[in-house]
Structure 1
Amino acid sequence: MTNRERAAGPSLPLVGRSAHLGTLAARAAAARAGRPQMVVVDGPAGVGKTSLLRAALDPGGPCDGMTVLHGACRAVDNGIGYSGVRALFGPLNLTARRGRSASLLRGSARHALPALVPDPADADSTPGATFPTLNGLYWLAANLMADRPLVLALDDAHWCDERSLHWLDFLLRRADGMPLLVVLAQRTDSGPAAGPALTDLVAHHRPLALPLAALSAGDVGELVRRAFPEDSPQPSFVDVLTDVTGGNPLELNRLLHRLRMTGVGPDDTGARRVTELGGRVVASTVHEVLDGQPGRVREVARALAVLGPERIEHLAALAGVSVVQAEEAVDVLRRAALVHHDRTDMVHDMVRAAVLSTVTPAALAALRTRAAQLLSDVGRSPEQIAGQLLLLPRADQPWMTAVLLDAAAQAEQRGAPEAAVRYLERVKKARPNAPEVRMRLAGVLSETDPARSLTLLREALALADDVRTRATVAVRLGLTCLRVQQSPEGARVLSEVLDALTAELGTDPEPADRELLTLVESALLVVGADEKSTLPAVRERAARLTPPPGDTPAQRQQLAMLTVLTAMDGRSAAESVRQARRALRSPGLPLGTWSLLPASLALSLADETDEALDALDTVLRDSRRAAAVWTYSLALSTRAFVHLDQGGITRAMADAQTALDLCEGEEWGEGATMPQTALALALTERGEPERAEAVLDTVKRPRIEDFAWEYHGYLMARARARRARGDTESALDILRVCGDSLAGSGLANPVLTPWWLDAACLLAESGRLDEARAAADHGTVLAGRWGTARALGYAALARGAATPGPAGIAALEEAVRRLSASPARADHARALLLLGQALLAEGAPREAREHLRNAVALARRCGCVALARQAREALVGAGGRMREITVSPLDMLTGTERTVAALVASGMSNREAAEALFVTVRTVELHLTSIYRKLGVTRRADLADVLHEDAADSPDRHAGRDTPR
C-alpha cells in the first residue's frame, strides 16, 4: 500500500501530458535496470504536477511493478525534521516493528527509526547525531530495493524540510547500481522553504527536468468538452477561457466547475461570465463560494486551512461550532470542490491560500495561536505544535517557548539539526539574555556550523553570571575550539573559568560540584594538549593534580589525559600503565571516547599493545553500533599506528586507508592528518615512498606545525619517505625540525616519535659518526628513563649504528635481544639487518648470513617489503642464496581491499561488510571483484584460506584484528 491517495491533489483530467508520461516511463525502465534516476517535475501552481504524478504512479502506469512511495509536503510541516521522509514511508507502518516492518528494519536500517516514529524518544537514538539516521534510512531503502525497484515520489517538494532533502542527496550519492527512481514535483513560482537544500540537491545530481507548460487552446477545448459532454463549446468561449486562465489546469477546472454549478454553459454567456471573473480565478471562485455561505462554513473552512487534515471534532473546536455543524460545513465545501471528496483536506494549496486571504493578519495569527493550543490540548507532539508557532510573527509567551524547546529536543533526537535550529532561534529571539538557550543552539550547530556554534558559546559565556553555568559553557566552548582548531582560545577560557570555579567551591565541594570541577579540569587537559603553545602550561597544571580514583566519567576522562601527559614526560612507563588501567575501569558505566583513546595511546607507548588494541576495539565496536563515523575513523587511525608499532604493516595500511576513505566528502575530514600519516608510513615500509609523499601532500590542515601530536608524526612520515627516495639531506633536515619541535613542546617520550633513532642510523650511513653518536646519546638518556624493552632496544640500535667495530656489534646484539622481547617486530628485523651488515664488515660472513636470513623472513612477515629486499641484497652480498623478494598477491591489495577481504573472509555477507564500513553493497562488490582478480580466487572460501595462511605467518599478536568486531 502507498500513500498516493493522501498526497493526491485536485482531480484534474490529464490532458496534453502523454509525452511527459512517456519520458517518465523511459526513466522508470532505466531505474529498473539498475541505473538510478532523478526527475524534477516543475511548473507554476495548478499546472497539473500532482495529476501527472498520479497517472505515472497508479497501477498500469509507467511505474507499474515497482514499489511506489508517494508523499506530499506541507507548509505547516516544513519546520519538522524528516517530515518529508515520514510522508513517504508512513504507510509502511514501520513503527510496528513486527512482520515485514521488522524485516525492513534489519541491520543498520534500525537507525532509521528516529526519523520515522512520532516521538523519537521511543527510538534508540543518539541526540544530535545526523549520520546514523541518514545511514539507517539509506539501508531501509536498500532493503526495499532488494525486493523490487523503488520509486520515491515527493509532491510539493518546495515545502520539504531540509533534512529529508539532505537524505535524498545522501541516498542518491550512494545509489550506483540500485533500481531507484526519485521524482520530485515543485512549484516554480514559489521559492523553496528549505533554503538551499533543494537547490543543492538538484545541482549535485543534475536530474531530468520535466517542466509542465500551460495547456494549449486545443487542450483547453478538450477539457471543456469533458466538462460539458452534452454541449458543443463555442470557439469564442474556449479562446476567452484560455486567455483568462492562461491554460492553467487548476484554474480551468475551478472555473468550469463554478460555471456548471451556476448553470452557465460554454457559450457566449459563459464567455462573458469568464471575462467578468478576470484573473486570479481560484481566489475569485473561492471567495465567491464562501461569500454565499453561512458564517459557520467560513469558520470551518479557515480552521481546515490552518490545521490541514484533522479529526472533525478538532476542526469544530477551532472553528467554534458543533461537530454536526462542522460535518455539514465540510459537505458544503466538498460540493463546492474546495475539499477533497475522499478526505478532509483542501484540494490545493492555492485554495488554502485563498481561504486564508479572507482573514486579516492579526486574526490569522490569533487563529494559529488557538490551533497550537488545541493541538497541545489533544496531546499532539511538540513538533506538530511548533509547526503552527513558527508561522506566527512572534512566539514569546512562556508556553510557546516551552513547546519550542521540547520540539528542538525531538528534532535533535531525530538527527534533524536544521529543524532544531529553527525552533531554538525563535526561543533565542523570545529570550535574548538566556545563556542556556545559546548553549543548546550551539550544541545543535556544532556539527553543521561549528564556527557559528563557537560565536554563540562566546555570547553565552558573556551572559552567564553564575560560575557553575560559566563552567558548563566553558567545557562546551573548549571542545568546540578543539574541533575548529582554535585550541588556545579554548584552553584560555577553561583555565580562567577553572580558577574561578575553584575559588567559588572551596576545598571541600559537594559531590556534584566536585564532578563539575573534574569535568572542567579534564576538558582543559584535552583541549590544552592539542597545540604546542598551550601544552607546557597544561603539563604544569597536570603535574600539580592528584590522579583521581576513576570512579566517575569525568574522573576517568581526567585520569586518561593525565596518563597520556605522564607518558609524554617519558619518566615512568609503569606509572602510565597503572593510570591507564585505572582509567579503563568501568564500574557499571560505559567508557567514553576521551577515556579510551588516550589510555590506548599510553598503553601502546608502554609496550602493552594487547590492552591498547582491546581499548580501541571497544571504541570501534561502540562507534560502529552507533554509526558514529568520525569516532570510528579516529579509532581506526589510532589503531593503524599501533599496528605500525607492532610491525603489522599490512593491517596498518588497511586501517589507515579505510579511515581515509571515511574522511572523504565529510566536513570534518578536511582537517584530518592521522590517516594520511599512518598510510604514508605503511607505504614507505612497503617500498612505495613516492606514493607515501603523494598521500602526505593531501594533508590540508592549516598551521599543522602548531599541533603537538599530529605534526611530529607527519614529519617522521615525510622524513622516512625522503630517506627511502635517497634524499638524505632533506630527511635529516626534517628530522632535526621534528626533534627541535618535540623539545620545544616538552615531549620527551623516546618511542612516541623516535626521530633520534632515524637520525642516528641515517647519519651513520652517511659516515657522520660523531653526529650519529650525539643523536644516539640523546635517545639513550630518554630511553633509560622510560625503560621499556622497545625504548631500550631503540637506544641500543642507535648506538650500534653509530659505533663501528666490536662495540657496535655488541650494541646491535643487545638491540636484537631487547626488540625481540618487545612488540616492535619491524624494528627487530631492522636490528637484525644492521647486525648482519656490521658482522659482514668485521669479516664474519657466516654469522652475518644467519642474521640477514632472519631479517628477511621477519621483514616479509611484517609486510616491510623494502626492508626485506635490503636484507636479501646484503645476504646475497655475504655469499648467501635467496630468490628475489617478490610482492605476494596479498600485498597487491589496497588497504581498503584488505579490510573488505578480511570482513568477507570472517563470514560477513556483502551487505554486512558494507554496513561495517559505512559504504554501499555496490562498493563492496567492486572491491571483491578486484580482490578476486588480484588473488586469483573465485570463491569466498578460497579467500578465507589465503588470508588464513597470511595470518599464520604474521608476527602480529592480534592477527585478524584488521576485521572490525
Structure 2
Amino acid sequence: MTKRVAESLLLERDSELTALAAALEAVRMGSGSLVVVQGPPGVGKTRLLAAATDQAQANGLLVLAARGHELERAIALGVALDLLAPPLTAARPKERARLAAGLAAPAAPLFPGLLRQELSPAAPGSDDMLRGLCRLAVNLTGWGTEGAAVRPMLLTVDDAQWADEASLRFLAMLADRVGALPLALVVAVRDGGDGSEVSALRRLTVQPPNRLLAPAPLSAGAVERLVAGVFPAAGDDLAAAVAHASGGNPFLVGELLRSLQADGHVPPASAVAGMVPGTVLHSVLARLARLPAEAGRLATSLAVLGDRTPLRRAARHAGLGLPAAERAADVLAGAHLLRPGDPLGFLHPLIAAAVHADLPAFARARAHRRAADLLAEDGEGVEKVAGHLLVSQPEGDLAVARTLREAAGLALRRGDPAAATRLLHRALADATAGRYSGELMLELARAQMTAGDMAAHDTVTEALPLLDDAPAPVRAEALTLLARLRNSRGDFSGAAVAQDAALDLFEAGDPRSEDVLAEYLMIARFHPSLRRHAARRLAPVLREARQGRPPGRPGLLAHLTLQLALDGDPVPEVLRAASGALAHDPLVDPVGHGSLMGIVVHALVIAGELVAAEAAADAALSAARRRGDVLAYGYAGYHRALARYHQGALTAALADLEAARGPHDEGWNSAGGWIAFLLAWVHLERGEEDAAEEALHLADPHPPDGMYSPLVLDCRARLSLLRGDPAAALRAARDAGHLLERLYEIDHPGLLPWRGTAAIAAHHLGDHPAAQELAGQAVARARTVGVAQAVGAALRVAGLVARPRPDLSLLAEAAKILQGTPAALEHARALVDLGAALWRAGRGRDCGPPLRQGLALADRMHARPLAERARAELHAAGMRPRRTAVAGIDALTPAERRVALLALHGHSNGQIAQTLFISTKTVETHLARVYRKLAIVNRRQLSEAFGSPT
C-alpha cells in the first residue's frame, strides 16, 4: 500500500521530470534557469522537488533547500536565510570571509556569529541586503570569483506562497540574473495560495528564462492502476468513484485509499460515489479519531506549532509526558499522518491544515498563545514567537505588544515593511491608550511609508495627539515623518509647516535639532517653493559658523559647506566646514547612501577645490565598496566624475559615470538629471555629439524645476553651438542662467558659467556688444566669488569676444591664472585660444608654445575637438605638430570598453565580473582583446592608453 501511494506522487509526471532533468543538465554546462512548479495542493509539487534534489546530488551539484511556512511569514528573509545559512555554517572562517566579500557585504548582518563586517551606524537598506544575498548565493557557486572552482548549484523553495515577502523579492531578484549563472532555481507554489497576490511571487511565474510546470490531475487509467494495487478484486466502478471523489489529485487518491483500506474489506463504489475532496480530508480526521487520545492531542499540538517542531516541545504543548509523546508519534507515523523521526512533521501540509482547521476558533487562538509562550521560554527568536501571537486573541497584554514591536523592528531592518505593518497592527490591539500607542502608531507609519503605503499619512496624523507628552525627539520624529509624507504627495507647504513644528520643539542651540534641520534642508532647499524658508532656517547657522561656532553634526555641516561655497566665502572656510562634515564617515549619511557627501563634493568643486573634491569622493567610494553599498558607490562615482571632468580626466570620468549609471539603470533614477548633464559635458569634450544628445535624455523623466535643469539647458546650448545654431545656443544659455537665479537665487560660475556660453553664442551671431557685455558680467561675477578657475574661464571668454580683435592680455592672464589651478581642461582651452590669437595677431614666433602645450594637454585628455583645433592652428602657422599615437579605443566593442573602464576605475577582474554579472573568464577575454587593440600588455598601461592625466 505505502509503495503504491508513494508511486502516485510521480505517476504521469514524465514531462515534468524531463524538464527538471534538462534544467539540471544545463546548469552543469553553465547555463542557469528558473523552473516554477505550480498547481493545487496534493498534486505532487513537493515530490517533483525531491526528485530534482536527488538527481542534482547524484550529479555533484550543491543543493540548498527551503520551504515557506504559513506561521513564519512574519519572519523577514526567513526563507532566504534557511537557504543560505547552512553552507555558511559549514564553511571555514576564511571561506566565509570570501563568500561575504564585496557586493555580498550588505548581507553580513543577517548572519550574526557567522560573518563579520565593518558596519555603518545604520544597517544597509533593504535592496542593498537583497543584492548582497544574491551575490552571496552567486559566491557559493564560485562563479565570477578569482581562484575559486565553479560548483553548479540547485536552489529549491517549496510552498513559496507562504514565504515572507522579503524572501520572495530576493528570489525574484536572483531570478533576474539566473540565466547568466551556474544556478538552477526551482520554486513550487500553490494555485491561489495566500501569497499569490504578492508582486514578487507573480514575477516569478512570468520570469524569463522560465519554465512553468503545471502537473495535471491523474488520468482515469492512472487512478485505476492505483486502486487495483490496493484492491486487486475491485471493479471499474470503484476506480471511477475514487477518480471522481479525488479529482485525480494524487495526494487525495492516496488518502482516500488509506481510509477505505482501514475498513478491512473491498468497499462498494457507492461508499465513495458521493465523496468530494473536502470529505476526503474529513476522512483523515476520522482516521485520527480512531487512534489513541494521546495521538490526537499530539497531532493537534503539532498542527498549531508547525512542522520541524521538536518532540519535547510538542509534548509540553499537548500536556504529555515524553514517553507518552514518543508512543503517540510512532502511532501517528504508522497511520501515515506524520513523518517518522524528530523533529516532527506531517506527511503532507493538507493533513496539517485539516487538523488545524478542525480546532474551534477560540481554542485555536488559545493554542497559538500557548505555543508563543513555549517558544519564548525555549529562547526562540521573537519573529517565531510573533507568528503565533499574530493569530492569538488580543488581551490587552503589553508584553505581547512589546514582542510584536520588537519583531516588527527586525522585519524592517531586514527589508520587509509589509510584515512589520502586520505585526504593528496586531501590537496596537494589545497596547493600552496613550503614549505607548502613539509610539507604536509612529512605528506603524514608518513601516507603511517604507512599504509605499500612503495610509502612513493618516496613521501618523492619528498618532500625533497621542504623543503630546512624549519627549521632543519622539514628537519631532513624527512631525518629520509627516513632512516627508506630505512632500511625497506634493503638499510642499504642508511639509514645511510640519517640519517647522518639529524644529520649534527644540530650544535654540539644542544639538538634537541639527539632524532634524539637516533633513528639512535636504527636502526644502532644493525645492523652489520651499527654498526661501529653508534659507531663513539656515541663516542663523551661517551666522554662528562665521563667528567661529559651526554646527557639530555632519549633515548640517554638509549644508553649511554648500552655502559657504555658493556665497563666495573664503575657500579656507569652505574647506574647514567640508573637513568637519567628512571627518567621521566619508559617506556623511550612510542612511542616505552618500547624498550629503555629494553636497560637500559639489561645494568643493564650486569653490575650485578639485583635488579635495576628488579625495572626498575617493574616500566615499572606498567606504561604499567595503560596505557593498551599491547606491552609495554610484553616487560617489558620479561625484568623483564631476571633480575629474574639471581636471580634464575625461576617460576616468567616463569610468566613474559607469559606476554611477549602475544603480540608475536598476531603478534608482532620482540622479538621472545630474548624470545627464555631466555625461553630456564629458561626451562633448571628447567630440561625441550623438552620445551627448543621448545622455541628455536621461533627464527627460525628471521635473523641469530641479537644480540640474539649468545645467541640462547649458549642455543644450553648448550642443547647439557645435551644430552651428548660435541663436538657439544663446536662448538656452540665457534661460539656464535665469532659471537657476529665479528658482534658487544662485548665480555662481563655479556651478554654472552660463554667461560664458551666452557670450560665445552672441559673438557667433555677430552681436558683439551683447557678447562683450555678457563677458564683462562674467568676469565681474567671477572676481566677486574669488574662485581662480572661474576667473580664468571668464577672462578667456572676455579675451575671445573683445573687439576689434581678441584681447591678448586677457587671454594671457587667463592662461596664467589657470596654470596655477587643477582645472586642466579650462587651462588647455585658454592655451589653445591664446596661441590661435597670437598667430592671427602676426606673432608667429610666440604662438607655438601655448598651442603645443594646449595640444599636449588635449591629447592626453582625449579632448579630440580641442586637440584637432590646436593641430589645425599649428599647421596654419606653418608648424608640424606631433601626431597622436593611434590608441585604437574607437575599435573597442561596447562590452570591451565597459570592462576596460571598470578596470581603469580600479576594479579587479573578480569585481568587474560581479558588477557586470559575467564570469571572470569572460572579463579576462575582454581585457585580452582590449590590450591587443590598444597595443598594451597590462592594466597599468590603461591610463596612458585611454589618455587619463596622471
In 2, Cα distance between equivalents of 1:490 and 1:886: 58
| Offset at residue 144 of structure 1 (A) | 2.9
Give the AA of the match of 2:677: T
Q: CA 1:78/1:522 → structure 2, altered by over 3 Å: closer, same or farther?
A: closer
Instruction: Report the equivalent of 2:254.
Output: 253
| Residues 111 and 594 of structure 1: CA distance in aligned 2, closer, same or farther (over 3 Å) | closer
Q: CA deviation at 1:754?
A: 0.6
Residues 33 and 179 of structure 2 are in contact (CA less than 8 Å); yes or no, is this contact kept in structure 1? no
- AA aligned opposite 1:399: A
Alpha-carbon deviations, 1:659-698, whole Å to 9, x = none?
Answer: 12321132x3156211121111101111122221222123
CA gap of 1:895–1:773, structure 2 versus 1, over 3 A, is farther
| Corresponding residue of 2:44 | 48
- Equivalent position of 1:921 in the other structure: 918
What is residue 290 of structure 2 aligned with on the other side?
292
1:482 to 1:626, Cα distance in 2 relative to 1, 3 A: farther
**Secondary structure in 2 aligned to 1:341?**
coil
TM-score by length of 1: 0.88
Separation of aligned partners in 2, 1:789 and 1:370: 74
Q: Given the superposition, is the C-alpha separation of residues 281 and 98 from structure 1 closer, same or farther in structure 2, using an over 3 Å criterion?
A: farther
- Taking the TM superposition and a 5 Å limit, the aligned residue runs for 1:333-348 are 333-343=332-342, 344-348=344-348
Correspondence for 2:67: 72
Change (3 A) 1:552 1:462: farther
What pairs up with 1:101-120 in 2 under 5 angstroms? 101=96, 104-115=99-110
Q: Which amino acid aligns with 1:585?
A: A
Q: Cα distance 1:12–1:657, how it changes in 2: closer, same or farther (>3 A)?
A: same
Taking a change above 3 Å as real, the CA distance of residues 150 and 530 of structure 1, as seen in their structure-2 partners, is same
- Check conservation: 1:715, 1:735, Cα contact below 8 A: yes
Question: Counterpart of 1:555?
Answer: 553
Cα deviation, 1:486-525, whole Å, max 9, x if unaligned, reads 7665444323432x225xx3x5x6xxxx221222233333
Aligned residue in 2 for 1:412: 412
Residue by residue over 1:391-431, the C-alpha shift from the partner in whole angstroms, topping out at 9 and shown as x without a partner, is 34658632222111111222233333333333234335666
Superposed displacement of residue 810, structure 1: 0.4
1:144 corresponding residue in structure 2: 140
For residues 199 and 113 of structure 2, the distance between their equivalents in structure 1, rounded to whole angstroms, comes to 27
Answer yes or no: is the 8 Å Cα contact 1:573–1:786 preserved in 2: no
Counterpart CA distance in 2 for 1:479 and 1:317 is 49
Alignment partner, residue 203 of structure 1: 206
Other-structure match for 1:501: 505
Match of 1:5 in 2: none
- Is 1:699 the counterpart of 2:699? The answer is yes
Alignment pair present for 1:713 and 2:711: yes
Q: 2:477 aligns with which of 454, 472, 478?
A: 472
Equivalent residue of 1:346, what SS?
coil
Shift of 1:238: 2.2
Shift of 1:347: 1.2
Deviations 1:609-644 (A, max 9, x none): 222222112222222222322222222112211112
CA pair 74-400 structure 1, distance change in 2 beyond 3 A:
same
> What residue in structure 2 maps to residue 380 of structure 1?
380
2:727 is aligned with 1:729:
yes
* 1:146-225 equivalences in 2 (<5 Å): 146=142, 147-192=150-195, 195-205=198-208, 207-225=210-228
Q: Which amino acid aligns with 1:317?
A: R
The one-letter code of the counterpart of 1:88 is L
Distance 1:889 1:152 in 2: 44
1:45 maps to amino acid: P
For residue 943 of structure 1, what is the aligned residue in structure 2?
938
State the Cα distance separating 1:288 from its structure 2 match. Answer: 1.1
Instruction: Report the residue type matching 1:397 in the other structure.
Output: D
2:97–2:115 Cα contact (<8 Å) kept: no
How far, CA to CA, are the matches of 2:785 and 2:622 in structure 1?
Answer: 32
Aligned residue identity for 1:436 = E
Task: Say which of 518, 524, 541 aligns to 2:520.
Answer: 524
Q: What residue in structure 2 maps to residue 3 of structure 1?
A: none
Distance (whole Å) between structure 1 residues aligned to residue 197 and residue 428 of structure 2: 21
Give 2:634's aligned residue. 633
* Aligned pairs, number: 925
SS for the counterpart of 1:38 is strand
Q: Is the 8 A contact 1:255 1:281 kept in 2?
A: no
In structure 1, the residue corresponding to 2:36 is in which secondary structure? strand
**How far apart, in 1, do the equivalents of 2:79 and 2:697 lie?**
42
- 2:102 touches 2:626 (CA, 8 Å); kept in 1? no
Q: CA deviation at 1:62?
A: 9.5
Q: 1:336 to 1:635 in 2, by over 3 A?
A: same
Residues 836-862 of structure 1 show CA distances to partners (whole Å, capped at 9, x for unaligned) of 232233222332343223222211222
How far off is 1:323 after superposition? Answer: 2.4
**1:167-212 deviation line (CA, Å, top 9, x unaligned):** 1221122233322222122222534356222112222336222221
> What CA deviation, in whole Å up to 9, does each residue of 1:352-380 have, x standing for no partner?
12112322112111111111122122211
TM-score (norm 2): 0.89
**1:876–1:654 distance in 2 versus 1, CA, 3 Å:** same
Contact 2:246 2:280 in 1 (8 A): no
Does the Cα contact within 8 Å between 1:111 and 1:132 map onto a contact in 2? yes
Q: Within 2, Cα distance between the matches of 1:693 and 1:613?
A: 27
Which string of whole-angstrom CA distances, capped at 9 and with x for unpartnered residues, describes residues 114-173 of structure 1?
A: 445699999968536123322222222223323322111222222222222211221122
Q: CA deviation at 1:250?
A: 1.2
How far apart, CA to CA, are the structure 2 residues paired with 1:602 and 1:670?
20
Q: Which moved more, 1:145-154 or 1:881-890?
A: 881-890
SS in structure 2 at match of 1:936: helix
Mapped to 2, the partners of 1:110 and 1:868 lie a distance apart of 44
**Cα distance in 1 between the residues matched to 2:328 and 2:448:** 46
Equivalent pair of 1:10/1:340 in contact (CA under 8 Å): no
Could you tell me how far apart the structure 1 residues matched to 2:664 and 2:587 are? 30
Structure 1: how far apart are the matches of 2:453 and 2:848? 59
Counterparts of 2:65 and 2:554 in 1: how far apart (Å)?
Answer: 50
Distance 1:569 1:46 in 2: 72
| Structure-to-structure mapping, 1:440-519, within 5 angstroms | 440-444=443-447, 448-449=451-452, 457=460, 460-461=463-464, 464-465=467-468, 466=470, 467-478=472-483, 489-498=494-503, 500-502=504-506, 505=507, 514-519=510-515
- The unaligned stretches of length 5 or more in structure 2 are 143-149
Per-residue Cα deviation, 1:791-844 (whole angstroms, up to 9, x for no partner): 221232132122136781101100000011111111111112222232233222
Is the CA contact (8 Å cut-off) linking 1:576 and 1:603 kept in structure 2?
yes
SS in 1 for 2:206: helix
C-alpha separation between the residues in 2 aligned to 1:128 and 1:445? 19
1:128–1:948 distance in 2 versus 1, CA, 3 Å: closer
State the shift of 1:565 in Å.
0.8
CA distance in 2, matches of 1:99, 1:320: 46
Cα distance change on mapping 1:853 and 1:105 into 2, 3 Å? closer
Give the secondary-structure state (helix, strand or coil) at the position aligned to 1:152: strand
Give yes or no for contact 1:21–1:62 (8 Å, CA) kept in 2. Answer: no
Residues 798-947 of structure 1: pairs in structure 2 closer than 5 A: 798-804=797-803, 808-882=807-881, 888-890=887-889, 900-901=899-900, 903-904=902-903, 909-915=908-914, 918-922=915-919, 929=925, 932-933=928-929, 935-936=931-932, 942-947=937-942
Q: Following the alignment from structure 1 to structure 2, what is the Cα–Cα distance between the partners of residues 528 and 71?
A: 46
- 1:740–1:460 CA distance, 2 compared to 1 (3 A): farther
Would you say the 8 A contact 2:9–2:47 is kept in 1? yes
CA distance in 2 between counterparts of 1:896 and 1:673 reads: 25
Partner of 1:135: 131
What is the match of residue 402 of structure 2? 402
Quote the sequence identity (%): 31
The offset of 1:233, in angstroms, is 4.1
Contact 1:303 1:318 in 2 (8 A): yes
Residue 948 of structure 1 and its aligned partner are, at CA, apart by 4.4
